[in-house]
Amino acid sequence: MDTLHLLLDRRSVPARQLTEPGPDADEQARLFAAALRVPDHGKLAPWRLITLEGEAKHEFGRRLLDLAIRKDPDLPPARREKEAQRYSFAPLVVAVVAHVQQGRIPEQEQLLSAGCVAYNLLLGAQALGYSAQWLTGWAAYDRDAAAILGLDEDERVIAFVHIGTPALDVPERERPAPQSRVCRWTP
């Protein structure tokens, strides 16, 4: 698949529709190497990846469910069910973590670099023949959830990228026409 075709065909498959198989160890190594080749002003590498697979993925989901119930004991049954299953579908979930460093490189550039890592995971998964979805959800913004992942105080989740084989074909959705989003600046 040529690069432009890959970009033009990119679409997210809902995490609930991702199933086995997922990338094996060799594919993951290639995927992660490609994901980390992003713009990185100052060569800070202000990101890292945490993989969630197998039983560890399910345990993470259970701990988040427990946390959600502690935060809201009246959590409705439908939300409890959603939380219980959130990380159970895709065989591989990758938490993309940003570690913003104080100094001469603006925080925004470091966060955008981490966002590029997440996007490269989407593209790389597709290039390997898999599908993926970039999600955040409340756990990406919650310090107690960050502690479950073992994040430092100056780290935060940018994305949970769910990767697997699509259980169904996802139809193309309407996209903005380039001419509606691109203009030429003239002085």
Residue 187 lies in a domain: no
Please report, for the chain, how many H helices and E strands are present, in that order: 7, 5
Instruction: Name residues whose C-beta falls within 8 Å of residue 96's C-beta, 6 or more positions apart in sequence.
Output: 47, 49, 114, 117, 118, 121, 157, 158, 159, 160, 161
Question: According to the model, what pLDDT value does residue 178 have?
Answer: 92
Residue 49 lies in a domain: yes
CATH of the domain at 111: 3.40.109.10
Please give the average pLDDT of every successive group of 10 residues along the chain, which has 187 residues: 87 96 98 98 97 96 96 95 94 97 95 98 97 97 97 97 94 90 94
pTM recorded for the entire structure = 0.94
Residue 33 lies in a domain: yes
Question: According to the model, what pLDDT value does residue 170 have?
Answer: 85
Residue 186 lies in a domain: no
Residue 87 lies in a domain: yes
Question: According to the model, what pLDDT value does residue 117 have?
Answer: 98
Question: According to the model, what pLDDT value does residue 96 have?
Answer: 98
Residue 166 lies in a domain: yes
Q: Which domain holds residue 42?
A: 3-181
Residue 74 lies in a domain: yes
Count: domains in the chain = 1
Question: According to the model, what pLDDT value does residue 1 have?
Answer: 58
Residue 91 lies in a domain: yes
Instruction: Name residues whose C-beta falls within 8 Å of residue 104's C-beta, 6 or more positions apart in sequence.
Output: 42
